[in-house]
């Protein structure tokens, strides 16, 4: 048992070091060609109440209410707009090149791997880390040219949660996320059971990234990119989920809201551009501390059915 645990810890450490190296190789700011996908990232999809299959073992789950979820991840443009509004209202502040915001804290039970989350100011997004696409000019926030319609990254769970709450929304629960990605059958990916580089941005997408942006390292693609369109000679396939959502597999991991007993970590779903295909399966999960951020982590929001879109 000890040998097995040691092996698992070594693997996790290698993954963390690999991501750390990738992140350190990213320039602080970068400009790329803007790619129009034709997808409206202000749209929401209605997810009806009902049963669905959950997890790798296809356990029967049920959500007994209708809800709506963003059809794409939150973009850099949308998050910059939020930060500018929040800055004017005084709900965020800039401190040591970090965007900070207040969080009321959580109950702490002292379990082995539980982090104490006290009431106070927590980081939303760093402004001086390689890979961040948001810039603060002393008065407001802007986005690196070409990244406006890419998913915002380098956002902590606190920063993702604050965005959703600012407009009266929520992060999705894992169950809400999974039903929106899978529909009511037992598919492994949002579009079906097979995967290739024409359906998602993952670790086999290097040729695509080189063709689009002239870069040798992985990077995000615009939200809704895999919609059946052709870009610079690269033909994508329509990778929407049964309810019309884009990028529910690949591009960036997505924070979820669940706060489980005995632990402080938050879970992410969907896989990212840095991951292998098995991490993109609907039941795959990742987790980290709520103050964690990375170049391949983003989010989207949910809301009550027919709730007014206050961000538009």
> Comparing C-alpha atoms, which of 258, 252, 239 is closest to residue 187?
239
- Per-residue model confidence (pLDDT) at position 100: 99
- Per-residue model confidence (pLDDT) at position 23: 53
Cα separations in angstroms, 289 against 131, 293, 304: 19, 9, 27
Length of the chain: 312
What is the Cα–Cα distance from 28 to 3, expressed in whole angstroms? 40
pLDDT tens track, the chain, 312 positions: 454 444 444 444 444 444 444 455 667 779 999 999 999 999 999 999 999 999 999 999 999 999 999 999 999 999 999 999 999 999 999 999 999 999 999 888 888 888 899 999 999 999 999 999 999 999 999 999 999 999 999 999 999 999 999 999 999 999 999 999 999 999 999 999 999 999 999 999 988 999 999 987 789 999 999 999 999 999 999 999 999 999 999 999 999 999 888 889 999 999 999 999 999 999 999 999 999 999 999 999 999 997 765 555
Q: What ranges do the domains of the chain cover? A: 2-304
Q: Which CATH class is domain 2-304?
A: alpha beta
What is the Cα–Cα distance from 89 to 81, expressed in whole angstroms? 13
**Residues 92 and 124 sit within 8 Å (Cβ to Cβ):** yes
Torsions phi, psi for 83 (to 5 deg): -60, -40
Residue located via tokens 């990028």: 247
> Comparing C-alpha atoms, which of 54, 45, 44 is closest to residue 184?
54
What is the Cα–Cα distance from 85 to 167, expressed in whole angstroms? 11
Residue located via tokens 């396939």: 237
- DSSP-assigned states of every residue in 173-207: PHHHHHHHHHTTS--SBTTBS---TTT--STT-HH
- Per-residue model confidence (pLDDT) at position 25: 61
> Comparing C-alpha atoms, which of 90, 152, 99, 143 is closest to residue 124?
99
């Amino acid at each position: 048992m000890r040998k097995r645990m040691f092996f698992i810890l070594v693997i996790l450490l290698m993954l963390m070091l690999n991501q750390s190296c990738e992140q350190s190789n990213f320039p602080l700011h970068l400009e790329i060609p803007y790619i129009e996908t034709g997808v409206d990232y202000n749209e929401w999809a209605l997810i009806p109440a009902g049963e669905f299959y959950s997890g790798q073992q296809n356990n029967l789950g049920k959500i007994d209410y209708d809800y709506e979820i963003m059809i794409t991840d939150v973009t850099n443009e949308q998050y910059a707009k939020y930060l500018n509004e929040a800055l004017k209202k005084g709900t965020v502040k800039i401190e040591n090149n970090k965007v900070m915001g207040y969080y009321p804290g959580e109950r702490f039970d002292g379990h082995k791997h539980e982090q104490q989350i006290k009431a106070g100011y927590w980081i939303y997004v760093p402004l001086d880390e390689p890979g961040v696409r948001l810039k603060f000019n002393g008065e407001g926030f802007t986005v690196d040219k070409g990244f406006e319609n890419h998913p915002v990254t380098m956002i902590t769970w606190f920063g993702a949660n604050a965005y959703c709450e600012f407009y009266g929304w929520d992060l999705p629960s894992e169950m809400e996320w999974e039903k929106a990605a899978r529909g009511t059958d037992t598919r492994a990916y949002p579009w079906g059971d097979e995967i290739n580089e024409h359906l998602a941005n993952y670790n086999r997408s290097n040729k695509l990234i080189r063709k689009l942006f002239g870069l040798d390292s992985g990077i995000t693609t615009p939200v809704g990119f895999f919609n059946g369109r052709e870009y610079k000679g690269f033909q994508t396939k329509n990778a929407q989920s049964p309810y019309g959502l884009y990028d529910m597999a690949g591009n960036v991991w997505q924070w979820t809201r669940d706060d489980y007993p005995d632990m402080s970590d938050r879970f992410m779903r969907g896989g990212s551009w840095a991951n292998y295909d098995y991490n993109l399966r609907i039941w795959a999960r990742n987790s980290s501390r709520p103050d964690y951020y990375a170049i391949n982590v983003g989010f989207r929001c949910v809301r009550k059915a027919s709730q007014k879109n206050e961000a538009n």
